[in-house]
Amino acid sequence: MDMQALREEQMEKASQIVRVDDLGFEQPTLIAGADVGFEQGGDVTRAAIAVLRYPSLELVEYQIARIETQMPYIPGFLSFREYPALLKAWGMLQHRPQLVVVDGQGIAHPRRLGVASHFGLLADVPTIGVAKSRLCGQFAPLDDAAGALQPLNDKQEQIGWVWRSKARCNPLFISTGHRVSLPTALSFIQSCMLGYRLPEPTRWADAIASNRPAFQRWLLQDSDNRV
DNA sequence: GCGACAG
DNA sequence: ATCTTGTCGC
């Protein structure tokens, strides 16, 4: 693959990313979490999108899309590996979320186009990037207490936040995906917490993509409700 | 040249 | 990311 061409595509699309609030709603009614996993040694890419009601944060719908893996994982080029499956899952949704929390960086990326930004631009939906580790940028030492916050900076500009969502847990890396400002990205994620390290949209998407016990229990309860 | 490096 | 049991700490 032509890495230089991908790099230029990133820079071109990054210039289209909207970093200020252009949400299209006062308070959202439906939000979503998106996560991607892999099967069969990496040959199959699986994207899960969970739709939650806001602000109650109950799960109302989920979709799982599976496609043949298109690209290897290369740091800085994750979005090209993950967005095709994400777009497929997005197209399968019966509900239309007004904002999507994507597992990965938004503009906290060397060329300011992490997977959250890339997906948000292609789907034309407001997105926020929530990553579990750092890709680039620097930040001051973070206090141990839950709620500790530091700006994530790179080349004289703030590209995100480092936020300890829970005590004794590694911090989250939160950044603008698309059509959301940095302050809004942080406060919105803070309004999606229920006592765990990860915000609910991400937590549900992760549980669904990995078929976790919490998701299996929800499936049972849901089938009982339908009977 | 060397180290770092989302998922 | 994924492969996987027990184990340490609150």
User: Could you give the CA distance from residue A136 to residue A167 in angstroms, rounded to a whole number?
Assistant: 23
Nearest nt to A35, CA vs C1'? B7
Low-confidence winner among A37-46, A72-81, A103-112, A214-223 (lowest mean pLDDT):
A214-223
Per-residue model confidence (pLDDT) at position A214: 80
pTM over 0.85, yes/no: yes
User: Could you give the CA distance from residue A129 to residue A40 in angstroms, rounded to a whole number?
Assistant: 27
- Going by pLDDT thresholds of 50, 70 and 90, the confidence category of residue A210 is confident
User: Could you give the CA distance from residue A52 to residue A131 in angstroms, rounded to a whole number?
Assistant: 19
> How distant is C1' of C6 from CA of A194, in Å?
28
- Average model confidence (pLDDT) for chain A? 95
Protein-contacted bases of chain C (C-beta within 7 A): 1-2, 10
Please give the DSSP secondary-structure letter assigned to residue A171. Answer: P
Please give the DSSP secondary-structure letter assigned to residue A136. Answer: S
> How distant is C1' of C8 from CA of A170, in Å?
17
A144 belongs to an annotated ligand binding site: no
User: Could you give the CA distance from residue A141 to residue A47 in angstroms, rounded to a whole number?
Assistant: 34
State which amino acid sits at residue A128. Answer: I
User: Could you give the CA distance from residue A51 to residue A141 in angstroms, rounded to a whole number?
Assistant: 35
Calculate what percentage of chain A has a pLDDT beyond 70: 98
Q: What is the mean pLDDT of residues A135-162?
A: 96
A154 belongs to an annotated ligand binding site: no
Q: What is the mean pLDDT of residues A100-113?
A: 98
Over the range A136-151, which residues count as b (16 or more CB within 10 Å of their CB) and which as e? bbebeeeeeeeeeebb
User: Could you give the CA distance from residue A50 to residue A64 in angstroms, rounded to a whole number?
Assistant: 9
Residue at the smallest CA–C1' distance to nucleotide B7: A78
Scanning residues 77 through 96 of protein chain A, those with a beta carbon under 7 Å from any atom of strand C turn out to be none
Assess whether pLDDT exceeds 60 at residue A227.
no
Residue A104 phi/psi, 5-degree rounding, is: 140, 180
